[in-house]
Every structure is written in C-alpha cells, then in structure tokens.
Amino acid sequence: MAEISCTGFAAAGMACGIKKNGNRDLGLLACERPAAVAGVFTRNRVKAAPVLLDLARVAAGRCRAVVVNAGNANCCTGEQGMRNARRMAACVARELKVDENEVLVASTGVIGQQLPVGRIEAAAPELVCALDPCGFDRLAEAIMTTDTVPKLVWRRGEIAGKPFTIVGTAKGSGMICPDMATMLCFVCTDVEIAPADLQQCLAQAAAPTLNAITVDGDTSTNDTTLVMASGLSGAVARTPQELSVFGELLQDLLGELARMLVKDAEGATKLIEVAVTGAADAAEARQVAYTIAHSPLVKTACFGQDANWGRIIAAAGRSGVAVDPEAMRIVFDDVVLYERGGWTGEAAEAAATAVLRKPEFRLTVDLGRGAATASVLTCDFSLDYVRINADYRS
C-alpha cells in the first residue's frame, strides 16, 4: 500500500495478543498538538464502554489520540468494562505525556468478554514508539476483524490556494447497519476548523455515505466514527464556502470507504445499490429502500443471480409505506422487469439475469407516488456469510 500521510498525525498498528490468530490487533492515531475532534456513534441502546467514554470526551471538542483494539468489543462488561476503557486510554496517555481525557478509545470484536487490558498496557510503550507519519497502513490492518482487506482512503483538496489532506480508514464487514456511524472509522485532516463546524460537516457527510449502507440489518453496539483536525496545513475552513469545500471532500472520502465496507462484507459477491424513486418524501423512500436491502430473500436471490422481482415487490409491500403495485416499476440497471402491474417478459428476464451476473449493479424501484428518492448500498447473502457468523466465536 502506498505511503500516506497527513500533517501533524502519526499512526501505528501492532499485535498485542487479543486476537487468537496473532495478527495486528492494537492501533493508535495521534496528533502532535490538540486536534479539533468530532464523532458520530451508534444509536443502539446497548452501547459498549468505549462508546460511552468517547461520547463524554468528544464533547470537549479537542483530543490528542485515539487507541483502538480488535478482537474484543468491551461491551456488556459492566463497571469493569468502563474501568478497562479508562485504563486503555490512560496507559497511552502516559506514554504520549498528555492528559488521559484527551485520549479516545474504540474496540471491536466479541461482545460480553472482559477486555484483557493488561496486554494493551504492556504493549503501550512499543505502540507509541512505533508511531509513524506514514503508519496508516498498519493502523488499517490493526482494526480488522472479519475484514479480508484493509480499507484506507486519502484525498487532497485546496481552500483559498492552500492545499490540505484528509486520510480515513474503516473496518466492518458484518453487523453493519449503521445509525449515525459505521463499525469503526477514523479520519484525520490538517485543515484548521472549529470543533462545532467539524461536527456539522461530519454529520452531513456521514448521512448519505456511512449511514446509507447495510450488510445484514444489524446495528453494532460499538459503531464509532471520529474525525480529528490538526490545523497544520495552513488551509482554513471557516466561511460557508470554505466549509462546503471541506465537507464535500470529506463526503467523497467517506463515500469511498462506505463502498469498500460493503464490497468486503462477510461472504459478499455482489455490491448492490438499492435506489427508490418516485416516493412521496425522503423518509418513505429510505424506508422502502432499507426494507428491500434487508430482505434475506432478496439478498439470496441476488447471490443466486435470480431476477426474482416478486421478492422485491413483496418487500416493498411490507415496508409500511402505502405503495400501489399498479404504479410501481422495478429496474435492474436499465432493464425494466416489472411495470404497470406485471412482468415485462422473458427477454427482459434474460437481460436482468445478465445484470445480476455482474459484481456491481443497481436495483431501482419507482413507487410512482412523488418525486423523492433515496439510495442504500448493500450486498448479497452467500453461503459464506452463514459460515463466518456461525463460527464467529469458536
């Protein structure tokens, strides 16, 4: 992977013995100065200890580092879990010589097991020593669980003639149905921006990207997306126009990470965009899109390359939206397979089946109710999805 850097930041990743396979399982992203920080987190009512800790610390608007482990979620672990999350932050803070309240934490892995925080504490000196301005590839590897490839994206932009950089990494391939974030995503930029503006930019950029994907309809207890800004590039995002430039580039970066997450979903063979058009409003468009994207019957049909439009229209019909089958239209890429209340014939079926053989395609459902639209990225369900999740804890 090409070397990637962002002014003011250094990253590291190493193995500390949490993962059974011995792979990297501990990562660190640190800034040489207090950075503006913003975050979005799971809306699952069951929240992991690191999420609860970060929710309180992000409110201060500044941080110096985030430390993350894979292989253990530190969720549903009670007061001991909260103590372990604080110890995880404290041991890194000591090595960085910063206030522990300026260190955020994140965890991913198995729910309900106490975090072996002693291994993290023992590894902290080596982890901090390993910090490298070009160490983002090691961080990307360290946060993986069932991911098959690391996910790392960078963008360069310019504000008022001043260049700036955004770097982001993410993980997640199962238990993906984000609600304000995704499994884990860490972004850094060298733009100068106020924490409140950064929070607004992140929320706006996450909505159509990280918050518009689903693998299996299960929202994680640990969803965390954090953005840190060092302000060291000389580029400043302060005016509405400057914030728009930064926000658009951030959305572009998060959009690519979102696609990478769904493409690497557990056992996935297809990347599917479910687009709902002709809705009365955006909310009902999203409701129909997610119902179709979550349907196991639709997802398995896509895996089997079966253009089974009956499963799609049935999913739309149970979405809770007052759809009219006579007004609906179902299209695979540009192949119309259903309209005006019926199937469009064998030739269209053959053409739609050819679309389903592609690794990426678009499924459009026009409700014929209005002008609103919504789009969700999802994937198919394969035999491997069942195998991976049946064996996840063993």
Catalytic residues: 182
Place of tokens 């229209």: 313
Q: How far apart are alpha carbons 16 and 116 in whole angstroms?
A: 10
Find, among 230, 231, 32, 28, the residue nearest to 131 by Cα: 28
On the 0-12 / 13-18 / 19+ scale of CB atoms within 10 A, 148 is exposed
Q: Which two tokens stand for residue 271?
A: 């990347």
CA triple 264-267-269, angle to 5 deg? 75
Three-state secondary structure of 83-121: HHHHHHHHHHHHHHCCCHHHEEEEEEEECCCCCCHHHHH
Structural contact between residues 212 and 375, judged by C-beta atoms closer than 8 angstroms: yes
Pairing label, strands 162-171, 184-189: antiparallel
Give the up-direction half-sphere exposure of residue 249: CA atoms within 13 A in the CB hemisphere: 24
Structural contact between residues 61 and 260, judged by C-beta atoms closer than 8 angstroms: no
